[in-house]
Amino acid sequence: QVQLQESGGGPVQAGRSLRLSCTVSGRRRPISSWGWFRGRARELVATITPTGTTDYNDAVKGRFAISRDHDQNTVDLQMNSLKPEDTDVYYCRITYYSGSPFADWGRGTQVTVSS
């Protein structure tokens, strides 16, 4: 059973920073990407591949950075210059090269940015 657990969310003042972390545990198939998504619609925030290729929502480019720990069991999201519109529930996701399910999701962590 694969489990994803987000941490690091909370209230923060606009212009300041938070760092989210996602820990992946359990046996899993080879991973094709790690990522962060937000909101009910699971809007893309950032993804990273095993080769280090990243993709960001234009709304967060230059402010957020996604990274993996060396053991690839954790993925972080450094969020700088936070804005009130960044307020949302942030979800961690991993995808696989093949097989089912296609992806596993965390339960989410709340980020609330006050002006």
84 backbone dihedrals φ, ψ, rounded to 5°: -55, -35
pLDDT in tens, 1-43: 899 999 999 999 999 999 999 999 997 789 999 999 999 999 9
| Torsion of the alpha carbons at 8, 10, 11 and 16, rounded to the nearest 10 | 10
Q: Is 44 within 8 Å of 34 (Cβ atoms)?
A: no
For residue 76, the one-letter residue type is D
Spatial contact of 86 and 39, defined as CB atoms under 8 Å apart: no
Q: What is the pLDDT of residues 36-82, one digit of tens each?
A: 999 999 999 999 999 999 999 999 999 999 999 877 799 999 999 99
